[in-house]
Structure 1
Amino acid sequence: METIQQLKLYAKKVVQAGLVVGAGGNLSIREGDIMYISPSGFDLQEIEDHQWVRVEISTGKILGDLKPSSEVLMHLACFRKRPDIRAILHAHPTYSVAVSSTGNMIPPLFPDFPAMVHNVSYLDYVIPTTEILANAVADVISDSDVVVMRNHGVLTVGKTMKEAYFYMQLTEESAKVYVIACTMGKPRILTEQECQELRALSSERYRQTLLRNEVQ
């Protein structure tokens, strides 16, 4: 099944890229009114085909015996708010967590980040796995493809899992560049005009189209 293969592919990518450790992180893909989501307590790269949990998006009903990720409410909230998205990824990328825990935002320091990631929302710390967090994410997800949760992690959404994963990579790389730059001096942050000029480039719009249309 294509959906399962996509989930397995990006589950391994997330672990191999160091975006999660242990049994951390979760991801899901929508198929109609059904969400396929990683099971609770599993190392993402060790999930077998039959272990991805099916959940009805409209009702929250779990279809099967395994327990879904403890962040299932957050995934449901995003799918209910954003009928345009098909994939959700939640990870705990080191540099993004580090920068956000200081109260700072992750600034645009190189072209790819502002060109591809147009809106980032920041949430102050909310206890994970709760309805409180799910509601907080739901309040901002309509206008954002990236949500940075201070002292916790990052959530990205996309029309494909490839798009959601790319947003996660760019956010973490931007946080990493920022941390490194700060150790050497005061970073020059791209201006809003420079960011808008990047977003207007036809090459960047083409890349966005590829991310949203490709299968993997």
Structure 2
Amino acid sequence: MFYYKAKLVKIGELLYKEGLVDARAGNLSVRLRDRAIITRTGSHLGNLSFEDLIELQLYQKHTLEDRASSEWIVHREIYLQTSHKAVVHAHPLYTVFLSNYYSRIEPKDSEGKAILGAVEVIPDYPSGSEELAGAVAQGLKTSKILVVKNHGVFSAAQTLTQAYSLISVLERSCRYLWNINLIERGTTL
């Protein structure tokens, strides 16, 4: 248990340091068989403590669900519908910008192309809603990452490091794409 909690703390710190979340945004979780550990609602991912991590059952309600991230319903649905073991949700700025202009983000940089390919952008459902949970889980059945228009990114993989890394690569690709678009339009940086 200590290992998973320490990993959640470390990945939260990396997300914050890289600017993929702000002080109170984003959430992450890891699945442990029929349970999951998820960040507390309103927790600062860059400064997590073990007290900010809540363990919940996947197949039954628990009184601590009210203290868990408001996106618990989305994380839970991903675990119930897929084989992913870790979920990271972040709000990277350039990725959210581009979600307004594309239904699929297609990286132009070599790393983004090789690692991500095209990334689907789904409609902006209300945060923490059943509609969002269903749409994200459905999308992550065949992918490891997707963008919710005007909201952020959900990434799911076998490890937290893998899920975090995909978001990091996507944001870098989106910054690159944003700047290429500016240059092509004749706008100076």
Q: TM-score, normalised by structure 2?
A: 0.91
TM-superposed deviation, 1:133: 0.7
Aligned amino acid, residue 174 of structure 1: S
Q: Does 1:24 align with 2:20?
A: no
CA contact (8 A) 1:28 1:37 kept: yes
TM-superposed deviation, 1:117: 1.9
Higher gyration radius (CA): 1
Q: Does 1:69 align with 2:69?
A: yes
For residues 113 and 43 of structure 2, the distance between their equivalents in structure 1, rounded to whole angstroms, comes to 34
CA contact (8 A) 2:43 2:52 kept: no
The verdict on how the C-alpha distance between 1:76 and 1:65 changes in structure 2, with shifts beyond 3 A counting, is closer
What per-residue deviation string (whole Å, max 9, x for no partner) do you get for residues 14-59 of structure 1?
1111111121000001111110000001111232213301111122
* Structure 1 gaps, min length 5: 187-216
What per-residue deviation string (whole Å, max 9, x for no partner) do you get for residues 54-108 of structure 1?
111122x33658700000000001111112x211000000000000112353222
Aligned amino acid, residue 72 of structure 2: V
Aligned to 2:140: 141
CA contact (8 A) 1:88 1:157 kept: yes
Give 3-state SS (helix, strand or coil) of 1:172's partner.
helix
CA contact (8 A) 1:119 1:143 kept: no
CA contact (8 A) 2:20 2:90 kept: yes
Aligned amino acid, residue 79 of structure 1: Y
* Structure 2 gaps, min length 5: none
Give 3-state SS (helix, strand or coil) of 1:11's partner.
helix
For residues 105 and 181 of structure 1, the distance between their equivalents in structure 2, rounded to whole angstroms, comes to 17
CA contact (8 A) 1:39 1:66 kept: no
TM-superposed deviation, 1:153: 0.4
CA contact (8 A) 2:105 2:120 kept: no
CA contact (8 A) 1:37 1:52 kept: yes
What's the % identity of the aligned pairs? 26
Question: 4+ residue runs of structure 1 moved beyond 4 angstroms?
Answer: 63-66
Give 3-state SS (helix, strand or coil) of 1:101's partner.
coil
Q: Does 1:181 align with 2:180?
A: yes
Aligned to 1:152: 151
Aligned to 1:131: 130
CA contact (8 A) 1:36 1:52 kept: yes
Aligned to 1:79: 79
Greater shift, 122-131 or 6-15, is seen at 122-131
Aligned to 1:44: 45
TM-superposed deviation, 1:173: 0.7
CA contact (8 A) 2:56 2:65 kept: no
